Structure 1
Amino acid sequence: MDKIVLKNMGFYAYHGNLPSETTQGQRFFVDVTVLADLTKPGQTDQLEDSINYVDIYDTVERIMTETPYKLLERVGSLIADELWNSNKGIVGLAVTVRKPSVPISGMLDYVEVTITRGQI
């Protein structure tokens, strides 16, 4: 299956459970992988035959920045559901939301949640 991948999209947002997370905000990073048959756009070279990755970015940006949520699971699910329901050619997708500045006293690079729909 063919893929469209948007990797490491960065956003400043206010998601989290702690008051400091919802008032100060922090950086989040999102990856989206879309599985689709891209044979037709590969032959026609027409955007209307493909899945527009600018639209994917715009959807992710809107969901990441408009409304604060407590859980990465919620944010990832909202993104996955909207992409899944608004793009008829998608047969599978994965949305990964990463939070590098987590309130954990140990050392780690980030926490991430991956939400999938369809065949991955």
Structure 2
Amino acid sequence: MSRIRLKNIRIFTNHGCLSEEEKIGSDYLVNLSVDADLSEAARTDQLKDTVDYVHLNRIVKEQMAQRSKLLEHVGQRIIDAVFEEVAVVNSVEVTVSKVNPPIGGDVAEVSVTMSSSR
């Protein structure tokens, strides 16, 4: 089993429970890891035999563009979309972080990490 990771995908969007968050938006960081058997790709050197990280990045951007109140909800949508669109993936771990959250304190970010396997 092998792992492909996309680290710190930076996205500006409008998730959150507060109406201000919907209107103003904020920065988010997404980290995505997928596990898959990449032995065929290692042998053939062909993109069709691996997990295309451009495709993974597109999934993250598409799901982050759909408003959610909770980071858990958008995280699960990312997991579901990866499983739906990339058959070779066996497991997914995603961390969605809200940078400078409006929680009344000096907090760099809040994060939710979720994982799932087929």
TM interval, shorter chain, is over 0.9
Are positions 1:44 and 2:44 aligned together? yes
1:32 is the counterpart of 2:32: yes
- Provide the residue aligned with 1:108 in structure 2: 107
Residues 17-48 of structure 1: CA distance to partner in whole angstroms, max 9, x if unpaired? 11110000000010100001111101100011
SS for the counterpart of 1:81 is helix
The letter for the 1-side match of 2:83 is W
**Kept after mapping to 1: 8 A contact 2:10/2:27:** yes
Equivalenced residues, count: 118
Q: CA RMSD in A?
A: 1.2
Residue 20 of structure 2 corresponds to 20
Q: Give 2:109's aligned amino acid.
A: Y
Query: Identity rate of aligned residues, in percent?
Result: 36
Are 1:8 and 2:8 counterparts?
yes
Mapped partners of 2:75, 2:9: distance in 1: 13
Q: Tell me the equivalent position of 1:54.
A: 54
Residues 32-74 of structure 1 show CA distances to partners (whole Å, capped at 9, x for unaligned) of: 0000111110110001111111010011111112x21100001
Q: Distance in 2 between matches of 1:85 and 1:74?
A: 16
Write the distance in 2 (CA, Å) between the matches of 1:108 and 1:21.
16
Work out the CA distance in 1 between the residues paired with 2:12 and 2:85.
Answer: 25
Q: Which amino acid aligns with 2:4?
A: I
Structure 2 equivalent of residue 76 of structure 1: 75
Shift of 1:106: 2.7
Opposite residue 98 of structure 1, the aligned amino acid is S
| Residue matched to 2:85 | 86
Extract unaligned runs of 5+ from structure 2: none
